[in-house]
Each structure stands twice: as C-alpha cells, then as structure tokens.
Amino acid sequence: MNSYAYTLLIPLIPFFVFLFVGMAEDKLKGKLGGLIGTVGLGIATFLSYYTAFKYFITDHVHGTAYTSVKAFEITWLHLTEKLTINLGILIDPISVMMLIVVSTVSFMVHIYSLGYMEGERGFARFYSFLSLFSFSMLGLVLATNLFQMYIFWELVGVSSFLLIGYYYEKPSAFSAAKKAFIVTRFADLGFLIGILILSFTTGTFDFQTLVDPNGPAISSAGGAAFMGLSLLTWALILIFVGGAGKSAMFPLHIWLPDAMEGPTPVSALIHAATMVVAGVYLVARLFPVYALGGPVALEVVAWVGAFTSLFAAVIALTQTDIKRVLAFSTMSQIGYMMLSLGVSGYGGEEGLGFMASNFHLFTHAMFKALLFLGAGAVIHAVHSNDMSEMGGLRKYLPITHMTFLIACLTIAGIPPFSGFFSKDEILVAAFHSNKILFGIEYLVAGLTAFYMFRLYYSIFWGHDRHYHHTPHEAPLVMTIPLMILAFGSIFSGLLPFHHLVTSDGLGFDSHIDWMIAAPSILIGVVGIAVATLMYKTENSRPAAVAKTFSHLYRWSYRKFYIDEVYLFVTKKIIFNYISRPVAWFDRHIVDGTMNGIANLVVFCSFNIKGLQSGRVQQYGFVFVSGVVALVLIFVYLL
C-alpha cells in the first residue's frame, strides 16, 4: 500500500457504473442512467486531477527525475514459470498525463451527451457503454505491464465496437462497427505475436523492467536475428502494428472514417481524443525500448506516421461529410505524433520528439474533442452530416461558431493557441532529425489549415440552406463542455511539458525556435487565406480547382480506393477463394470420404444380401450340403 492506492478507484468507479447501469437499463427512467454515469465519471475525473496535482507538484522534489510508482498490483494469472500476468496501476508522467486527457474528455462527453442523446432509445445503454469504455481506457493507460495493456486494449476495442454500433438497427452502423473491430483485431494479432516474442526474449511483461535501460529488453537488442533484424526489432515492429491498427495508421486506417457512424460524442471521445491515440501511447510507453533497442523499428514508426499524416490530409481536402473530414484530420494529427516519436532520441534534449509527441497528444485531445463536439452541435441543429447542406450557421449557433473557430485556429497552428506550441516542437524535432520528414510535415501543416478552414467556412459562412426548421443553438449542457474545451485548447499550450513529460523523467529547457516557428505560422496563414478565398463566399473557384486536378481530386475523394482494395481482399479472396473452397472441401472431400466408406459398406452388404433369401429350405439345403462337404473332407482328405 502506498499513497496512490486510491487510484484504483479511478477505473473501478466507471466499471461499477457500467455494471449497474447496464443491468438496470430498463428500470432507469429518463436521464437517470446518464446522471449516474456522469457523476461516477466526475468523481473519477476529480481523482485524476488530484493524482496529477499530487504527482507533479506535491510529491515531486524539484530537480529530480520523475519516477514511476506502482500504486497497486495483483497477480491475475500464471502463464509460464517466469511469466505472470499482473493487474495493477502504474503512475508515471505519461500515465498521469493520459489520465487527465481521458478523464477530462470523457467527462465532457458525458455531460454533452446528456443533451445530445436526449430522447434516444437506450439512453441508459449508451451511458453504460460509455462507462465501459472509460473503464477500459483508464485501465489501459494505468497498465503496469504489456499484457495488462493488451487486455484493456481489447476491451477498448470492444467498447468502441459497441458504441459505433449503437444505432444497431442501421445496417451501416453495424457494418462500420464490425469493420472497426475486425481491422483492429487483425492489427492486434501483430500486437499479440509481438508480445509473445518480446516476453520470451525478455522474460517479463513489466513496463518498469522493460524500459529499464539496463534491463533485459534493451540488452537483448543484439540477440538472435531473423531476416536481418534482431528478434527485439521484430517484436517492436509487430507491437507497432497493433498500435497502428488502433491509431488508424496507413494501411490499417480504413475503419476510422466508417466509425463516424457512431453517435458524435462517441466519435469525439473514442475516435478523436482517447482510443485512437492508444497506439501513440503504446509506443511512448515502450519508448526507451524502441529508442535504445530497436532504432529500425522507430524508423518504421516515423515513416508510417509521416506517410499517414500526408495521406490523410490529402483525403481530408475533398471529403464532404464533416465528421469524415475530422476523422481524416485525426489520422493526420496522429501521424504527427507517431512521426514525432519516431524521430526522437532518448534522454534529455534528445528526447524532444518524445515530449512533443505527448504534448501534441494532449493539445490534440482538447481541440479535436472540441471540433467533434462542435460538429455534433451543428449536426444536432441541422440533422445532417453533409457540408453541402450547411451554410450560414454562424448566426444561429454563436457559441458553437466561436468555439469551432478557436479549435480551427488551434489545429492550424496559429499562436497563441495551444496547437502552435505542440506542433512547433514536433517540427523542430523533425527538422533536427530528417529533412524529408520535416518537409512532409511542413506541407501537411499547410494542408491542415486549408481543409480545416474549408470545413469552417462551409459550415458557418456562405448562404443559408433550406433547413427544415430554423437551426437553434444547442442547450447549455452541450455548450458548456464546448467552452471548457475551448479554454483547454487555448491555454493548454502553456503547460511546461518539457519539464513534466520527458523520455527519461528529467526535465529540460526548451524555447520556441522562431527559425522554424515563423515559416510554420506562415504556411498556416497561407492555408487559411486560400481557404478564405475559395470558400468564404460561394464562388466557382473550388469547382475550377477540382476540374484542373480532376484525377487527383477523384482519387482523394474516393480515399485512394483503399476501401475497395480491402473489400476485394476480404470479399473476393477470403470469402470466395478460401472460405468457399474450405466449405466445399469439407462437404465433398473430407465428408465425402466418410460417406464413401459408409456407401462402400452399403454396397457390399447389398450385394451379399441375396444369399439371405428368407427361404428356410434354401438355408437347409446350404446347411446340409455344408455338412456333407465337411464330412467328405474329414473322411477322405484328412
């Protein structure tokens, strides 16, 4: 027992709320289920903030490194002689930071949904699923070991599945849920095999042991090789595959846009702020192993991140569904975080990328949740997801408009909003590591500013559409979370992350490098300016641009046909060319053999059954002749 033992309550409260609300679903009338969920999460959020305050401020001796504390641990299962699965709670800078992110966004979403989901069928069910998700996500971030993380990793997967498929009567919602689950499950296969390799190479699951620079993991880096890379590197790459699946990295990203079928608060919570950054968190968790044990794996992380951020940004340029634009923007931003981890080194200022990644994760959670919740307020007002059915909404939705604008400026990297600070750190880290990666990210920054303002202008400017009824501002219960998150988006950039969350626990000094910051602001402004030119008032310029680059436009609009490729692989190849032949083989060859044996027996017996004529005298004759024959044999031959 130690002074952090109470943190056990942080995941457990949502868990019990889930059980209670889930079982008593029918009995909870009106908003009661939602209120229980919100209060439960409120307590968990309070405890998280208290933990952060205690860990970063009261318990920390100035100038020393932040250490990790095991608040609680029990044995859950013995696997092999050496490997034991424990469940516990690990308190260290990144887990505390994630605790704040998850509980804040989740709490905001809980409050917001009280308004957004009002009158939906299964309101209580929604809250029980939200609580399940919060429990799993908190369990994930607090995990003491890799296997615990895997357990909760699967649980967040399933709660995401349940929430995407919340409108289960809509076939598209369920197929999106199914897709999300299966794609991430496929990625988890990589994760699991990675865990198998890593745990058998190092003999432990425990994070504290794994990330120890002198521990078994890092010292095994030079071990047995397979196809030119050490086993450790393979393990790390495979683990990253799992992270890439959850974080929607190319080419495992296809589930994320479809996941927008879920209710918008869910998208804000799971598919923008928390679950999708689990992959980043996973790599950050094992960062010392990556940095010191498998630099090749880290390079993979960087390139996948960079490619995804560019790829997603290009797709986001042309999408018309506002939630999908945001989804692709999420992918792009997570690509930033991955890249930043990928270019980072270990320890001190070398670890700038690590710090930047976590910093961006934090600010991104705030502004992306804000964007989604704002989009939710818009959808709530006009009952459509499609940009072309929106316009001129700034008059009707003043609060949503203001907060949305703040979020757009934040993501575009305009100072003094938080996004500027975190993105700047990433660009600095990339600049010092690899100029090509830096170039990609620089370009993406411009694209981001452009598509975000395209979105912004399409929704809030232009002329009014034919709305079924006059759009009205969302109720207070929805706008308050918007305002809180807007506050977070503006000011979270001022947090001294380089003193709090660093690769080795020691703080370092960091300042804004204007040589990089100034051009990055510039490209952001250029992006905004182009968007203003094209979309502020309706004109023929967007259509002209689309026509000029018609191929590129179509490819981007169709998301580079990745979905079609997957569909081809799953439907055609797996279903038709594997599963159908297996079923046929089973029916006709394997079962056919068995039936063949049976038929052979039937055939033989059919042919010899003529002997059994049923005529007594024939039997008698055979019998007598047999006796006579035997007598003759015995008498004359023997």
Partner 1 sequence: MIDNIPLNSFLVISTLMFFIGIYGFLTRRNLITMLMSIELILNSVNINFVVFNKFLYPNLLHGHFFSLIVIAVAASEAAVAIAIIINIYRNFKSIDVENLDQMKL
Partner 2 sequence: MNILTLFVVIPVLTVAGILFTKDLKQSRMVSAIGMTVQLILSAILVYLYVTERQAGNMAPMLFTFDALWFPALNIHYAVGVDGISVAMIALTGVVVFAGIFASWRMEFLSREFFISLILLATGVFGFFISLDLFTMFLFYEIAVIPMYLLIGIWGSGPKEYSAMKLTLMLMGGSALLMVGILGIYFFSVPEGGQLTFNVLEIAKHQIPIEMQRFLFPFTFVGFGILGALFPFHTWSPDGHASAPTAVSMLHAGVLMKLGGYGAFRVAIYLMPEAAQEQAWIFIILTSISVVYGAFGAIFQKDLKYINAYSSVSHCGLVLFAVLMMNQTAFTGAVIQMISHGLMTALFFALIGMIYGRTHTRMINEMGGLMKVIPFLGVVYVIAGLASLGLPGFSGFVAEMTIFFGAYEHVDLFHRVATIVAVSSIVITAVYILRVVGTLLMGPITDKHFLHLEDANWYERLSTITLVIGITFIGVAPLWLSDMINFSLAPLIEKLATVQLPGM
Residues of the shown chain interacting with partner 2 in the complex, contacts defined by CB under 8 A: 75-81, 83, 85, 147, 150-152, 154-155, 158, 165, 168-171, 174-175, 178, 181-182, 185-186, 188-189, 192-193, 196, 199-200, 574-575, 578-580, 582-583, 586, 590-591, 593-595, 598
**Shortest distance, position 619 Cβ to partner 1, whole Å:** 10
Rounded-to-10 torsion of CA 609, 610, 613, 619 = -90
When the beta carbons of 130 and 371 are compared against partner 2, the nearer one is: 130
Closest to partner 1 by CB, 540 vs 617, is 617
Q: Please state the closest distance from residue 90 (CB atom) to partner 2, in A.
A: 18
- Other beta carbons within 10 Å of 70: 17
Contact partner, 621, from partner 1, partner 2, none, Cβ < 5-8 Å per class: partner 1
CB of 611 to partner 1, least distance (A): 10
Euclidean distance between CA atoms 211 and 234, whole angstroms: 17
Say which entry of partner 2, partner 1, none residue 569 contacts (CB below 5 to 8 A, set by partner kind).
none
Q: Which does 79 bind (CB under 5 to 8 A by kind): partner 1, partner 2, none?
A: partner 2
How far apart, in whole angstroms, are the C-alpha atoms of residue 638 and residue 634? 5
For the CB of residue 12, give the shortest distance to partner 2 in the complex, in Å.
Answer: 13
Minimum CB separation of residue 632 from partner 1 in Å reads 15
Residues near 566 by beta carbon (within 8 Å), at least 6 away in sequence: 254
* Residue 626 CB, nearest approach to partner 1 (Å): 13
Question: How many C-alpha atoms does 451 have within 13 Å on its Cβ side?
Answer: 27
CA distance 250 to 324: 16
Please choose which of partner 2, partner 1, none residue 228 contacts, taking the beta carbon within 5 to 8 angstroms, the exact cut-off set by kind.
none
The item of partner 2, partner 1, none sharing an interface with residue 80, based on CB under 5 to 8 Å by kind, is partner 2
CB of 167 to partner 2, least distance (A): 9
617 touches, from partner 2, partner 1, none (C-beta below 5 to 8 Å by class): partner 1
Is 611 buried (19+), middle (13-18) or exposed (0-12) by CB count in 10 A? exposed
Helices 514-535 and 418-433 sit at what angle, rounded to 10 degrees? 120
In whole angstroms, the minimum distance from the beta carbon of 630 to partner 1 comes to: 15
Residues whose CB falls within 8 Å of the CB of residue 420, separated by 6 or more in sequence, listed in order: 410, 413, 414, 493, 517, 521
Nearer to partner 2, 81 or 509 (CB): 81
Strands 225-226 and 229-230: antiparallel
Q: Could you tell me if 505 and 208 are in contact, meaning their C-beta atoms sit under 8 angstroms apart?
A: no
**Cβ-based nearer residue to partner 1, 67 or 612:** 612
Question: Residue 540 or 607: which CB sits closer to partner 1?
Answer: 607
| Dist. CA 584–CA 591, nearest whole Å | 10
In sequence order, what are the beta bridge partners of 69? Answer: 91
What one-letter code names the amino acid at 153? W
Other beta carbons within 10 angstroms of residue 508's beta carbon come to 16
- How far apart are the C-alpha atoms of 614 and 50, rounded to whole Å? 95
Between 152 and 336, CB nearer to partner 2: 152
Q: Which is nearer to partner 1, 476 or 604 (CB)?
A: 604
170 binds, among partner 2, partner 1, none (CB under 5 to 8 A by kind): partner 2
**Cβ burial 157-194 (10 Å sphere, 16+ → b, else e):** bbbbbbbbbbbeeeeebbebbebbbebbbebbebbbbb
Give the contacts of 56 (CB within 8 A, at least 6 positions apart): 66, 93, 96, 500
Residue 612 binding partner per list partner 2, partner 1, none, with a CB distance cut-off of 5 to 8 Å that depends on partner kind: partner 1
Between CA 220 and CA 213 the distance in angstroms is 11
C-beta of 558 vs 572, nearer to partner 2: 572
Shortest Cβ 126–partner 2 spacing (Å): 15
The residue among 398 and 620 lying less far from partner 1, judged by its C-beta, is 620
Compute the least distance from the CB of residue 291 to partner 2, in Å: 26
Q: Which does residue 181 bind out of partner 1, partner 2, none, counting CB within 5 to 8 angstroms by kind?
A: partner 2
Q: Of partner 2, partner 1, none, which one sits near residue 64, judging by CB under 5 to 8 A according to partner kind?
A: none
Residues in contact with partner 1 by CB under 8 A are 609, 612-617, 620-621, 624
Closer CB to partner 1, 468 or 615, in the complex: 615
Nearest residue to 5 via CA among 37, 40, 47, 46: 47
CB of 612 vs partner 1, minimal distance in Å = 5
Closer by beta carbon to partner 1, 388 or else 613: 613
CB proximity list for 612: less than 8 A, separation 6 or greater = none
Work out what residue 348 binds among partner 2, partner 1, none; the CB cut-off runs from 5 to 8 Å by kind: none
